[in-house]
Amino acid sequence: MRPAAEKKIRTPIRVAVTGAAGNIGYALLWRIASGDCFGVHQPVILQLLEIPPGMQRLDGVIMELRDSAFPLVHDIIGTDDPKIAFNEAEAIFLVGSRPRTKDMDRADLVAANGPIFVGQGKAIDAVASRNVKVLTVGNPCNTNALIASANAPGISSRQFTAMTRLDQNRAVGLMAQHAGVPASKVHDVFIWGNHANTMYPDPRFGTVDGCPATELFDSDWLEGSFLDTVATRGKAIIMARGASSAASAASAAVDHMRDWWLGSNGRIVSVSLPSEGWYGVPEGLVFSFPCRCEDGEVIVVDDLTVDAFAQTKIDENVKALLEERDAVSNLL
């Protein structure tokens, strides 16, 4: 007989990460391998994608992963072929994208990265699990998720999401710092809109150590310094450390996928997904909404009140995302 404490061995899941040798991918892989994302009893097969010039760096990343001897890692595959990386994948992190340079505006970034996500969407459609969960991290992530989904017609668009959890985590961290409490005491602060400086961190339903955030903080701070600090945090990090957010972005990706996979335990979390008309957002637009995750599904909390200020911010994000969608209409 097997010892009572012995766990039933689970079938490994295939997890694909693009841009795996980049800074975010590097930080992300150790969190996945340790069980932080899919659970401490869930084995994984890591399927890592890089562009050809990045393959030597990827070899080094794979060496380090093997040297870490993670019990949950059953195999590691490194490739520059999306169809190998996405083969039978049940979870995909689309991290790799062209970074924004100082001479590029957002429209340039959209144009540069769009074709990448056309190819990846087609590869996902061809070889990934029909139940795959796709998280787009590479920017502009909302529109890149839209492009990937449009090029994977065999997979439900609800299985493609984009990451605004980093914005949420920044908002939570800032509130916790301002109140002098751990971040674990801040709940139900979420993001509307686009992963860009137009996004809106909504504090109206949030609590801090059980106290409503709108009672704890004055409206001038919430609609001024709080909003501006969250919106410009990425730029501030670049100015401070000379490089963009990597560890915090990887941590947010883990949070997003873990809640999607295992559930958010009743908490409201931020997920960008194709709109079904919620809150007046045009259908199909990949937009961040307040959500709960249950049984592997993302459920939009669709009955919250929207005040005049929040509506203004929602409208601003809709306008920006419609402009991005129009700019890539030939890729959809």
pLDDT tens by residue, 165-204: 999 999 999 999 999 999 999 999 999 999 999 999 999 9
Average pLDDT, the chain: 95
Q: How confident is the model at residue 242 (pLDDT cuts 50, 70, 90)?
A: confident
Cα(187)–Cα(181) distance, rounded to whole angstroms? 12
Q: How confident is the model at residue 4 (pLDDT cuts 50, 70, 90)?
A: very low
Q: Which CATH number, 1.10.287.70, 3.20.20.70, 3.30.420.140, 3.40.50.720, labels domain 13-162?
A: 3.40.50.720
Length, in residues, of the chain: 332
* Per-domain boundaries in the chain: 13-162, 165-331
CB 142 within 8 A of CB 286: yes
Query: What's the pTM value of the predicted model, to 2 decimals?
Result: 0.95
As annotated, the active-site residues are 195
Average pLDDT over residues 21-33: 97
Is 80 exceeded by the pLDDT of residue 99? no
CB 136 within 8 A of CB 163: yes
**E-strand stretches of the chain:** 13-18, 44-49, 73-79, 91-94, 133-136, 160-162, 186-187, 190-192, 200-202, 207-208, 211-212, 269-274, 286-294, 297-300
Of 96-105, 114-123, 198-207, which gets the smallest average pLDDT? Answer: 96-105
Average pLDDT over residues 28-45: 98
pLDDT attached to residue 3? 44
CB 279 within 8 A of CB 306: yes
Tokens of 31: 């969190």
Q: Report the percent of the chain where pLDDT is more than 90.
A: 89
Domain 165-331 is found in CATH 3.90.110.10: yes
